[in-house]
Amino acid sequence: MQIGGAMSLLVMKFGGTSVATPDRIRRAAKRVGREVANGHDVIVIVSAMAGKTNELVGWVNDTGPFFDAREYDAVVSSGENVTAGLMALTLQEMEIPARSWQGWQVPVQTNSSHGAARITGIPTETMAARFADGMKVAVVAGFQGVSPEGRITTLGRGGSDTTAVAFAAAFGAVRCDIYTDVDGVYTTDPRIVRRARKLDRIAFEEMLELASLGAKVLQTRSVELAMRYKVKLRVLSSFDEYDENAGTLVCGEEEIMESNVVAGVAYARDEAKMTLLGVEDRPGIAAAIFGPLAEAGVNVDMIVQNISEQGHTDMTFSCPVDQVGRAQKAIEDAQAAGGFAYSELLADTDTAKVSVVGIGMRSHAGVAAQMFRALRDEGINIKVITTSEIKISVLIDRKYMELAVQALHDTFDLDKPGAERSVRA
C-alpha cells in the first residue's frame, strides 16, 4: 500500500520487555527511525511496559472479586496508552513526525466481549490521511479497541500481537515485524535443549500449531489472522544488533522450497488427564459430556473413547491442571441434572503434553512410529495420543517431559538444518 508517497508501509510491534524503560523505548525508536530512513512509513504497535499490566490487573482484583468488566478494560488498557505517548515523544525528539493513537481514536472496532474482545474492523481513512499530510510514524496502543457501545475493550493477553497483524492486514503492509526478547522461533525451547536451532522460516500452519501447543513466541490469534490475510510475520529480538536477515519469517508454505519433516517440538507442562469410567454408550453421549464442559469454560484438548463393552465405555480427555476443579463440578452437575451417568471420575494432575509439528509429515510416512520408538527407548509410557495432518501429540507423566523433548529433538535431527528452507525461484 502506498501512503503519502512512501516506498511502502511497515508494521513494527514492540513487546513489554522491549519498552520496559525509557532507555529501551529509545532503543526501539532508533529501529523505527532506521526504517523511516529506508523509505517506509511505519505503524508502531506497543505493549505496556513489562510488568505494568500485571500491576494494573492486581489493582482491579484488589477492589473485589466481582468487578465490572467494562471498568477492568478501562484500567488495564491504560498501560499501552502510556507507552504509545512516550514512544511518540521519543520519535519527535529524533525529529521524526510521529503521533500516538489510542484504540478508540483509530478506531480499532471490536465486539463487546470485554477482556477478550475480537477485532471486527480497522478503518484506514483517517490514519492514511495523516500519513499523506506528512506523518511518518503512527504509534498505536496495542491490546485495545472500542465496542459498538463506545466503551474501551481489551483483546486478552498477547493481544498486541493481534493488533499488529490486524493493522498489517488492513493497510496492506509489506511485513509485520514482532520485536520481543527472543531472536526468533526455535525448534524447541532452548532452555530445555541447548542444541535447539533457530529457524530462518516457518510456515503459518506450523507456527499456529506450535503456538497453540504451548510455544510462547506468538499469540495464537495473531497467527490465525496472519494466515487468513497472508501477512508476512517476522519474529526478532529488540536487543540484537540490526541485521536485515535477523529473526524468523512466518510465511506461506508456498514460499518455502523444502521443509524438514518435523519443524519443532512443543510442550505444555501443566496438563491433566481426566477419565470417566462406565459411561453409557449411546448416541449423544459425547455432546452430553462436552457441552457442559464448554459452558463451564474448560479448555478440552485430547479426547479418547474406548471400545464399547456391554453398553458402557470409558471417555478420557485432557485439560489444563488449573481447570480440573471446574471440570469436575461441570460433570457432577450434569450427572445430577440427568444428563448422563457414569461410575467413576478419575483425575491425573501430574501429566504433560509433548508434540511434534511439521508440514513435511503430510508426505512422509513413519513419523509416528519413529516418535513412539524414541519414547519407548527412554522408558516413557504414553497415556493418550492424538494426531492431525501436521501434528502428533502425546500425554505422558510430567516428570519425563524434558527427557521426552530432548529425545524427540535428537530423534528428528532438529539441531541440523537438513533441507535448507529457501524462497522458491
CA 118 to chain centre: 14
Residue 19 near residue 25, CB atoms below 8 Å:
yes
Q: Is 230 exposed, middle or buried (0-12, 13-18, 19+ CB in 10 A)?
A: exposed
C-alpha cell at 357: 509439528
> Known binder of ligand: residue 181?
yes
Three-class SS of residue 381? coil
> Known binder of ligand: residue 15?
yes
> Known binder of ligand: residue 157?
no
Q: Could you give the CA distance from residue 405 to residue 393 in angstroms, rounded to a whole number?
A: 12
Q: Could you give the CA distance from residue 409 to residue 381 in angstroms, rounded to a whole number?
A: 18
Nearest to 43 by CA among 119, 105, 100: 100
> Known binder of ligand: residue 217?
yes
> Known binder of ligand: residue 41?
no
| Cβ neighbours around 424 below 10 Å, total | 8
> Known binder of ligand: residue 13?
yes
In sequence order, the 6+-apart residues with CB closer than 8 A to the CB of 168 are 11, 43, 175, 176, 226, 229, 231
| Cβ neighbours around 111 below 10 Å, total | 14
> Known binder of ligand: residue 216?
yes
> Known binder of ligand: residue 16?
yes
Q: Could you give the CA distance from residue 367 to residue 360 in angstroms, rounded to a whole number?
A: 10
Binding site, annotated residues: 13-16, 53, 80, 180-181, 186, 191, 216-217
Binding site, annotated residues for substrate: 53, 80
Binding site, annotated residues for ATP: 13-16, 180-181, 186, 191, 216-217
